[in-house]
């Protein structure tokens, strides 16, 4: 269990992030058209997972914009923006913002992604949502970088995450 804060108030995740060097757990998430997407769908590509509570908050939206801006410059890399938002809300946000370089995926059905990756918030106002995390995978889907952001209201360290791809 990780201890994080939301507006300075202590809260916890239900587990710990998978360790660097380990294989990323497989997942099934909903795409904007509701079809199921798995990690295996990105076989042979490096993956940046930008995980957050909701696209309808300022910091979460900023992280999607930031990774969208940088994603077009990344070779053989896909950026997945993952939350428990409905796929329709994710699509609406990206459409309104003109964001085309990231893939939004939703864990709305059963929260299994958040549980498997140990990042579901367990208590407090955001209980049941995902904590703010960035996980970077190499082309074999081994974890090369992860960051559990200690304060949900803060942005992740984009530079360090993207440098893990070098």
**Catalytic annotation, residues:** 60
The token duo for 99 is 């964001």
Query: Could you tell me which residues are beta bridge partners of residue 77?
Result: 46
Dihedral angle computed from the Cα positions of residues 79, 117, 162 and 54, in that order, rounded to the nearest 10 degrees: 60
Separation of alpha carbons 30 and 59, rounded Å: 22
How many CB atoms sit inside 10 A of residue 105's CB? 24
| Residue 137 near residue 161, CB atoms below 8 Å | no
Which residues are CB-neighbours of 118 under 8 A, at least 6 positions away?
A: 2, 13, 14, 15, 16, 17, 18
């Amino acid at each position: 269990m990780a201890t994080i804060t939301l507006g300075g108030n202590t809260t916890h995740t239900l587990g710990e992030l998978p360790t660097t060097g380990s294989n990323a757990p497989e997942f099934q998430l909903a795409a904007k058209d509701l079809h199921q997407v798995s990690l295996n769908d990105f076989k042979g590509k490096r993956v940046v997972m930008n995980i957050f509570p909701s696209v309808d908050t300022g910091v979460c939206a900023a992280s999607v914009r930031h990774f969208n801006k940088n994603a077009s410059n990344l070779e053989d890399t896909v950026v997945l923006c993952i939350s428990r938002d409905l796929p329709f809300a994710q699509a609406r946000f990206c459409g309104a913002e003109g964001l085309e370089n990231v893939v939004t995926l939703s864990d709305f059905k059963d929260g299994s992604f958040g549980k498997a990756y140990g990042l579901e918030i367990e208590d407090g106002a955001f209980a049941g949502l995902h904590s703010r995390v960035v996980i970077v995978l190499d082309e074999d889907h081994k974890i090369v970088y992860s960051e559990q952001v200690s304060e949900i209201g803060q942005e992740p360290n984009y530079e360090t995450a993207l440098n893990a791809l070098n």
